[in-house]
Structure 1
Amino acid sequence: MNKRNIKYYTLPAAIIILLIILLTNEDLANKIIPSLGRLHPLVLHLPIGALILTFFLYVLSRLKGEYPKNIITIALGFSSFFSILACIFGYILSLEGGYTEQTLDIHLWVGILTAVLITLLFAVSTSKSKRPSVLFLPLFIVTICAISVAGHYGSVLTHGSDFLTEFMESPEIEKPITNIDSLKLYDNVVHKIFDNKCIECHNTTKKKGGLSLVSKHNLLLGGDSGMAIEKHNAHESLLFELCTLPITDDNHMPPEGKPQLTKKELWLIKYWINTSDDRDDKVASLPKNDTLNNYLKDYLIIDEILIKEASEEAITAVIAKGFTIRKLTPKNGGLWITYKNKKLPDDGINSLIQLKDQIVELDLGNTDLSDDMTNALKNMQNLVTLKLNKTNITDLTLNNLTGLKQLKTIVIHHTSISNEGIKNLLTNISPDQIYAWKTNIDHTDLQLLKNEYATHINLGTSKTK
């Protein structure tokens, strides 16, 4: 190596010397070195981007017959330095644990091989020849392959073994479960919660805290801190304790910035721990209450409803009554229907019965609708959104909605609805949202409804759920 090129190695050498100093000072090392490991995800992308750009410039220069030696050398020097730095920081990060040893070893050693190959490319590029060595291109291709393999195993460590192929595989078709009693509390409910919120960091390749949540068996094995759950005692279970810590606590799980467990999910995990045993019994054999029944409705597996097209005659007849109709999607027969005038037709909404299977969204707000006109609503089993705001309805109308299992959004503000009507409705169905300000619902009883039912009831004040 000539003196002119020593400058390329000065900064890397200085970094290595600094790390050696840190390693010999225990107090300083305990504060700074772990933080350096956390920089690994940031630093590793620098040599990847630089190397790919350099390869592109090199191939382009060969096609044009012009070799930009200085640019290639500087870019490879940059890549070499940061690849070495990424290896050092990655090794420090690996000391935190929580990774599958075999996958970690492959990632580590292929990463080191990549740094060596990039450094070798840099050394070859500094030769005095104005033309690149005949070995330069084959060596470059091998380096690109190595960094690709290292990157793949890095993604496996971070996101799991199926990260690359997740969307290539045909999704597993779940068998319909239309009855709450047929649900298995762990397989169909608790495991789904873990899968959505926890398994990214607690799987077979990345076990933070030594804990894997990929199966009930793994969960019961516990982690580095001991058993994760204490059967029949959620409040003494480490898993539940960490999930219920304040989000600002360093030990809170999932960590701040990750999707958090909802109040409903925490309740279900607590219930499962308090009733758990070595089997995964169906809900039918477990003690039940209204809260459990309401929360479990979200975990039923219902086949997608394919709505057949309405006849042109039926649509024309309803439009003739003054209703406005629009298809929701081109490939499905679902309809959105509204009425723009204050006074409804003489037969009220009875003409809509001929479209009862197609109505998905119905807006009758700001009309003279009254209880004696709403009997037709009972037949609209595919109804998802219903707007009855600023009408003359009372709790009697809500009685006509108790069989509409698909109903998710109900708008009934500025009506005479009361607590009893809402409670009777929520005992039978579980909509997601009810908008009910300016009604007879007592604000002081709202907290009772909030504790008993999962539905979000909006009363238009700070006291709403």
Structure 2
Amino acid sequence: MREKSTLRNLLENCLFVWLGLSIVLSLAPESTEFPSIFQVIGRSHPLLLHFPIVLLLAGIIFFIVPSLRENNEVKNIGELIFLAGANFAGITVVAGLILAKEDYEGESLNWHQWAGFLVFAFSIFIYFFRNISSKTIGFSAVILAIGVILTGHWGANLTHGEDFLLAPLNPEESQFPTLAEAEVFRDIVQPILEAKCVTCHREGKIKGELRLDHLEGIQKGGKTGPFALAGDLENSMMVQRISLPMDAKEHMPPKNKAQLSEEELSILKEWVANGAKFDQKMEELEKESKLYQFASLRFQPERRYEFEAASPETVKELNNFYRTVMPLYPESPALAVSYFGIAAFDPASLNDLKKVKTQVVELSLNKMPLENLDLGFLEDFNNLEKLSLNFSGLSSQQITQLGKLSSLQELALSGNNLQQESVKILSQMNNLKKLFLWQTGLSDSQKNELKKNLPTTRIDFGFDGKGIIYELNPPKISQAKTLFKDSLELVLSHPIPVAEIRYTLDGTEPDSLNSHIYSQSIWINQSGKIKAKVFAPDWKSSPTVSSVFMKSGLSPSDSKLLNAPNPRYQAQGANTLFDQIKGKNNHTSGEWLGYSEQAFEAEFEIPENQNVESLGLSLLYHESAYIFPPTQVEIFSWEDGSWKSIIRDQPKQSEKIGEIRSELLQYKIQGNSPQKIKVKLNPISSLPAWHPGAGAKGWVFIDEILLN
């Protein structure tokens, strides 16, 4: 009994210690800093909070149930359990108040913090006044139980988001907009942020002073910089953090949280690259853009149609060498019809479409000779929404017939010479959402008339670029593969026929005077790098594009890594270097060896009777992810029982953040072919001052060594 009394006295005195600490911490200013050991105590709050919940609720049972209160031995056990629970409540409150100093704020925090304090204080009151009337103590115990539940509820809101507990009882109906209705940020970007980022950046828990649970917080950014800068991948904090290696301290989401998929990473980066707009519609994106391609997979391509589908036999019959008839998207009853080939066009063939007049919602007759053709047949196409008649020689009378198409939403008349009579007809087509009128000869007053009469229609008159010199788009480099055995074909192309494509194969910048002019496919049989650029009169030359090509060489008889790669980026070990499988432009694809803490170092033995004249190193560069060129390349040859340095090079270091890319470093092996070779690559030990991670260690990534 004496031991119990001593223990009880100790626990009773501790209650006032925790109460005093709680009051001091509650009154401490926000700027108060605690030693590291106190932070550890604070972060134990989620671990500790389960003890007071269980012990207090168990102790409450002893206070509420009369039969348990009347048994002295059982009563003593119950009081001791409750006393232990009150102490754990005090410790938990102290830890929670310390933890609250770390990027937590908001209404949920206030409710949780003060409710926890009151539960602790009220448990002290109940314990020391436990011998008052049973009704009073029973009622107080019930109030305490409710307080414990409410405190836990607000704590769950703080950790998991608002209404975490009751959310299953109030499910929101998920409504998926159609592609035409969808917005890029609201329907594509924001759901990713909510799923992977908001738990740490929201009301109540604002890490890095960054809130992502409302638009104002996203636009404001955090304490280290803007969250997303339009078109600027280099300085957008979001792109910097999500691009870091997984084990980097500032990688987001933290490695103990659910990570972004490759598709989600691409969507977020493309959103920033496309201007980081918050009100952009999906339909405003270029259909060829990566962002559109990624995002469009998430929505219904178009609205649902109620009419019956045409029979597959009929659709198949209507398809021929000058006409395509296809569903708008798989399983859709709506059809899109396109004509092509002017010489093969027969106006009478339009009557064939009456078999599917109910199902046709899109019809393209671009560049078809439609002069004097009666377009009245289109009135039978009750569901026609999109009509393209560009460069088809239409008259005002024919355009008058188009005014009767009540379901039409999009009309393209570019390349037709429109008169005032046509303007009057178009001005009455209020149902149109889009109207394309490039090169139609309209005056400024006629354009203004259309804008005035069709205020809700998006009218595109084209663009007059006279007197402005524009930069050419870069050429396209096409190659079947990066790693080849015997020879490889390189094809260069550009959409402007008069543009002159010039290229180099020696690593120098192409110019308009001395570089090779591209005229036909380029066949190469050695490793290297092509750089290409486009020139044309009255245009600025295009940016330079480049691509590496690697000839797979001989395989060593033996190879080994002298330093182990980072466990996260170890691919297939030494076999990776000579497996003749080119790694993807993605450092997490599992095909790369990654080094940061130590140098990459490998040695390999050359088969007998094989001569090595050159050595190539296939590397990955991605400055946003801290992956830089090696600061030094050393190549050793085994001679007379020891290693001799035969090549020492310091590759040019990156000066800015670039796109993720493969690079090739090539070196000539002079003199006799060595029996064994050793390669050493030193990663950058401290990132440069211009980099967001200045001072941190960099990485070297390698996937192939080419011996030729």
TM-score band w.r.t. shorter chain:
0.5 to 0.7
Distance change (3 Å), C-alpha of 1:193 and 1:98 = same
Secondary structure of the residue that 2:234 maps to in structure 1?
helix
The separation in 1 between residues aligned to 2:227 and 2:81, in whole angstroms, is 49
Q: Which has the higher contact order (CA 8 A, sep 6+)?
A: 1
Alignment deviations for residues 426-457 of structure 1 (CA, whole Å, 9 cap, x no partner): xxxxxxxxxxxxxxxxx979867x98xx9xxx
Asked if 1 retains the 8 angstrom alpha-carbon contact of 2:176 and 2:299, the reply is no
Asked if 1 retains the 8 angstrom alpha-carbon contact of 2:208 and 2:222, the reply is yes
Asked if 2 retains the 8 angstrom alpha-carbon contact of 1:48 and 1:79, the reply is yes
Match of 2:162 in 1: 161
Superposed, 1:387-402 pairs within 5 Å as none
Match of 1:430 in 2: none
Match of 1:240 in 2: 239
Secondary structure of the residue that 2:198 maps to in structure 1?
coil
Asked if 1 retains the 8 angstrom alpha-carbon contact of 2:200 and 2:207, the reply is yes
Deviation at 1:111, TM superposition (A): 1.0
Asked if 2 retains the 8 angstrom alpha-carbon contact of 1:103 and 1:153, the reply is yes
Q: Which residue identity lines up with residue 141 of structure 1 in the other structure? A: V
Match of 2:263 in 1: 264
Alignment deviations for residues 9-61 of structure 1 (CA, whole Å, 9 cap, x no partner): 355577799999x99xxxx9522011111011111111111111222344445
Deviation at 1:172, TM superposition (A): 3.1
Q: Which residue identity lines up with residue 212 of structure 1 in the other structure? A: R
| 1:6 pairs with 2:9 | yes
Match of 2:540 in 1: none
The separation in 2 between residues aligned to 1:236 and 1:7, in whole angstroms, is 57
| 1:91 pairs with 2:61 | no
Superposed, 1:379-418 pairs within 5 Å as none
Among candidates 32, 36, 47, match of residue 31 of structure 1: 36
Superposed, 1:213-228 pairs within 5 Å as 213-228=212-227
The separation in 1 between residues aligned to 2:174 and 2:66, in whole angstroms, is 51
Deviation at 1:210, TM superposition (A): 2.2
Distance change (3 Å), C-alpha of 1:13 and 1:56 = closer
Asked if 2 retains the 8 angstrom alpha-carbon contact of 1:76 and 1:121, the reply is no
The TM-score normalised by the length of structure 2 is 0.39
Match of 1:189 in 2: 188
The 10-residue stretch of structure 1 (218-227 or 281-290) with the greater mean CA deviation from structure 2: 281-290
Deviation at 1:79, TM superposition (A): 0.8
The separation in 2 between residues aligned to 1:230 and 1:292, in whole angstroms, is 17
Alignment deviations for residues 293-315 of structure 1 (CA, whole Å, 9 cap, x no partner): 44224421489x9xxxxxxxxxx
The separation in 2 between residues aligned to 1:93 and 1:182, in whole angstroms, is 44
Asked if 2 retains the 8 angstrom alpha-carbon contact of 1:198 and 1:254, the reply is yes
The separation in 1 between residues aligned to 2:19 and 2:216, in whole angstroms, is 44
| 1:48 pairs with 2:48 | no
Q: Which residue identity lines up with residue 108 of structure 2 in the other structure? A: T
Alignment deviations for residues 231-252 of structure 1 (CA, whole Å, 9 cap, x no partner): 2102211111111112212221
Q: Which residue identity lines up with residue 8 of structure 1 in the other structure? A: L
Match of 2:410 in 1: none
The separation in 1 between residues aligned to 2:281 and 2:41, in whole angstroms, is 48
Match of 1:115 in 2: 120
Superposed, 1:333-372 pairs within 5 Å as none
Structure whose alpha-carbon radius of gyration is higher: 2
Distance change (3 Å), C-alpha of 1:52 and 1:446 = same
Distance change (3 Å), C-alpha of 1:447 and 1:292 = farther
Identity %: 25
Asked if 1 retains the 8 angstrom alpha-carbon contact of 2:62 and 2:75, the reply is no
Secondary structure of the residue that 1:200 maps to in structure 2?
helix
Superposed, 1:125-164 pairs within 5 Å as 125=130, 133-164=134-165
The separation in 2 between residues aligned to 1:301 and 1:66, in whole angstroms, is 69
Asked if 1 retains the 8 angstrom alpha-carbon contact of 2:230 and 2:274, the reply is yes
Asked if 2 retains the 8 angstrom alpha-carbon contact of 1:211 and 1:218, the reply is yes
Distance change (3 Å), C-alpha of 1:91 and 1:267 = same
Distance change (3 Å), C-alpha of 1:192 and 1:259 = same
The separation in 1 between residues aligned to 2:51 and 2:37, in whole angstroms, is 22
Alignment deviations for residues 266-309 of structure 1 (CA, whole Å, 9 cap, x no partner): 11111111212555222332345364444224421489x9xxxx
Distance change (3 Å), C-alpha of 1:29 and 1:216 = closer
The separation in 2 between residues aligned to 1:445 and 1:48, in whole angstroms, is 57
User: What are structure 2's unaligned runs of at least 5 residues?
Assistant: 305-311, 313-326, 332-479, 482-578, 590-702, 704-708
Question: Which stretches of structure 1, 4 residues or longer, exceed 4 Å deviation after superposition?
Answer: 10-20, 443-448
Secondary structure of the residue that 1:231 maps to in structure 2?
coil
Q: Which residue identity lines up with residue 72 of structure 1 in the other structure? A: G
Distance change (3 Å), C-alpha of 1:204 and 1:19 = closer
The separation in 2 between residues aligned to 1:14 and 1:444, in whole angstroms, is 68
Asked if 1 retains the 8 angstrom alpha-carbon contact of 2:227 and 2:236, the reply is yes
Match of 1:457 in 2: none
Distance change (3 Å), C-alpha of 1:19 and 1:160 = closer
Asked if 2 retains the 8 angstrom alpha-carbon contact of 1:229 and 1:239, the reply is yes
Secondary structure of the residue that 2:167 maps to in structure 1?
coil
Per residue, is there more strand in 1 or in 2?
2
The separation in 1 between residues aligned to 2:59 and 2:22, in whole angstroms, is 29
| 1:201 pairs with 2:204 | no
Match of 1:426 in 2: none
User: What are structure 1's unaligned runs of at least 5 residues?
Assistant: 306-352, 354-377, 383-418, 421-442, 455-462
Q: Which residue identity lines up with residue 99 of structure 2 in the other structure? A: L
Match of 2:82 in 1: 76
Distance change (3 Å), C-alpha of 1:302 and 1:122 = farther
Note the aligned Cα RMSD (angstroms). Answer: 4.0
Deviation at 1:71, TM superposition (A): 0.9
The separation in 2 between residues aligned to 1:119 and 1:149, in whole angstroms, is 18
Secondary structure of the residue that 2:164 maps to in structure 1?
coil
The separation in 1 between residues aligned to 2:171 and 2:18, in whole angstroms, is 48
Asked if 1 retains the 8 angstrom alpha-carbon contact of 2:18 and 2:87, the reply is no
The TM-score normalised by the length of structure 1 is 0.57
Asked if 1 retains the 8 angstrom alpha-carbon contact of 2:58 and 2:82, the reply is no
Deviation at 1:261, TM superposition (A): 0.7
Alignment deviations for residues 306-336 of structure 1 (CA, whole Å, 9 cap, x no partner): xxxxxxxxxxxxxxxxxxxxxxxxxxxxxxx
Distance change (3 Å), C-alpha of 1:301 and 1:77 = farther
Distance change (3 Å), C-alpha of 1:17 and 1:250 = farther
Aligned residue-pair number: 309
The 10-residue stretch of structure 1 (254-263 or 207-216) with the greater mean CA deviation from structure 2: 207-216
Alignment deviations for residues 132-189 of structure 1 (CA, whole Å, 9 cap, x no partner): 7442111111111222222222122112222123222241341442x4x653211111
Asked if 1 retains the 8 angstrom alpha-carbon contact of 2:225 and 2:236, the reply is no
Asked if 2 retains the 8 angstrom alpha-carbon contact of 1:174 and 1:301, the reply is no
Distance change (3 Å), C-alpha of 1:14 and 1:151 = closer
Alignment deviations for residues 387-407 of structure 1 (CA, whole Å, 9 cap, x no partner): xxxxxxxxxxxxxxxxxxxxx
The separation in 2 between residues aligned to 1:19 and 1:135, in whole angstroms, is 27
The separation in 2 between residues aligned to 1:42 and 1:105, in whole angstroms, is 20
